[in-house]
Structure 1
Amino acid sequence: MADILRGRRMRRNRRTEWSRRLVREHTLTVDDLIWPMFVTEGTATREPVPSMPGVDRLSVDEIGAAAEEAVALGIPAIALFPYTKADKRDPLGSEAANPDNLVCRACREIARRTPGLGIMTDVALDPYTSHGHDGLMVGDEIVNDATISALVAQAMVQVEAGCHIIAPSDMMDGRIGAIRAALDAAGHENVQIMAYAAKFASAFYGPFRDAVGASSALKGDKRTYQLDPLNALEALREVELDIAEAADMVMVKPGMPYLDIVWRVKERFGVPTFAYMVSGEYAMIEAAARNGWIDGEKAMLEAVGGFKRAGADGILTYHAPRIARRLAAG
């Protein structure tokens, strides 16, 4: 009451929409969005992902059409992930280095149809291995250095197909430096690297693994190379190492359960910092909205707004086209 008597009323600035806009501390725009897409074999093919309502696997021609939609909506970049069928998976993830694999064909189609759109590609072996792990296995161990050689080969075919941002999600030690050195040696100095620098061993990845066909293939878990969800200082050390190895941008994954990590990374390092609103986060919002438990549109915007408030420069989200339309509509 004493504050009121001295004239202090915090609610004054909240009374009207125009005033709220004037004092808003953070702004979400379409420039903050990266749209992840799943590519599959076939022509004119759209395969719904059951655990991700509203998300489809798209054939290469449909990916090209989606890229044109992204441009029309003003979305600056898309990220590609392949659905690899069992007959193209092997223990070495050999299909990852095939210059005519799904991702490479999709890169060429997107570059042909939308030359101004940023193309980001995942570098990890899990969509291609018969055991479902991000790296090569010797016995029960995911071997680090042999995996790096395979990741370098994978990155090179993607860049030669037209991708602009290499995004290693495997969490092997030293892979950023090795990929950077290989790119530079091949004359690809301008290709950017966005490191999945703080990628946690999360329960929120389940629908994604369904989308890329890795759920049934995965043997064991990924805790020997992905971060313990209860560790924060270790995440900062991972980010520091990737920056030292010349990562241009870093990512925290998942997003909402790790906003504290996004904040700490941005505050400590000041580098371009991204967050991935992963499949499980997307599925939770969609499931609750479809059951009438929450307002899905508002929850979607609130979630990505939280990433911006935590310090993220951009967000990878399957909601990207819906957010872009909502922002355009005002």
Structure 2
Amino acid sequence: METPGRPTAEEIELTLVGTPARYTRAEVSAKAGVTGELAERIWRALGFATLADDAVAFSDADVAALSRVGTMLGSGLLDEQTVLRMARALGQTTARLAQWQAEIMIGAMLPADTEPTDADLARVLETSQALLPDFEHVLVHVWRAQLAAAGTRLLALADVTDELVPTRVHVAVGFADLVSFTRRSRDLDEQELAMLVEGFEARSADAVAEHGGRLVKTLGDEVLFTASSPAVAAAIALDLVERDDLRIGLAYGPVLPMMGDVFGTTVNLAARLTAIARPGTIVVDGEIAGGLEGNPSVEVHRMRRRPARGLGTVQPFVLRRSSR
């Protein structure tokens, strides 16, 4: 039986994309019915490199995708700037998703202690091809469900602000920071460090999702999340601090949502409160403390006022689960 050879870049692309490269840049834009300039801007927004004019790198699937973009523009439902922003969101998100999934597959299937053989690499590609239809179906379903959840959040905010897409929204913002991450990371090898970070991110994501919050982003030893109310943010923070050795800061107020992230003074305040917090504690601002008044499941204790870089002097509070 012939041993499978190392997969080539062309084999990987054909297996995962499904159609071979046939066209140059000029040919793919012409067949899709869009200008070369627009096609180039779309590819860049999606995160793909600019190729030489004579490079045959585009497939019939690329033509179909570009044609759909042209149809959206031709319908007048979206303008060019909006399409490019949507393309950039799609490109950045799927690039991270694809990299993450590839790392998971490779880590699960390749030997950890020995150099992988060509047969090992071929087996990863074969397994990916077999699983691809299921992955694709789940991806589309989860994307639709997340889109529905985002729409529901916007409608709830519109009920409060009278704006369907408000420029600023009021939410609770939380930062959770792993204690002594730098020191701990020095004592770990690469595999152990990866397990530490992934475990922290997984536990954090579970806690945020369990209470209906939104995990905005992860930064290795830190996570940023939002919640609709002080009570929800408090429930998330209390669960998080019981699962890991963390410092957590919470603030409530207006934020500017942009590119899936959140910005503004409330975000900065949550970060400064995290820096104030001692290991294993949750420090919150006055808005969170006021929003939790009368909540029997928590206790809030005033701390001495502290200077916060860029924000002047702030009044922090310590949040704990009720001992009653």
The normalised TM-score by structure 2 is 0.22
Q: Work out which structure has the larger RCO, using CA pairs closer than 8 Å and 6 or more positions apart in sequence.
A: 1
Higher helix proportion: 2
Which structure has the bigger radius of gyration? 2
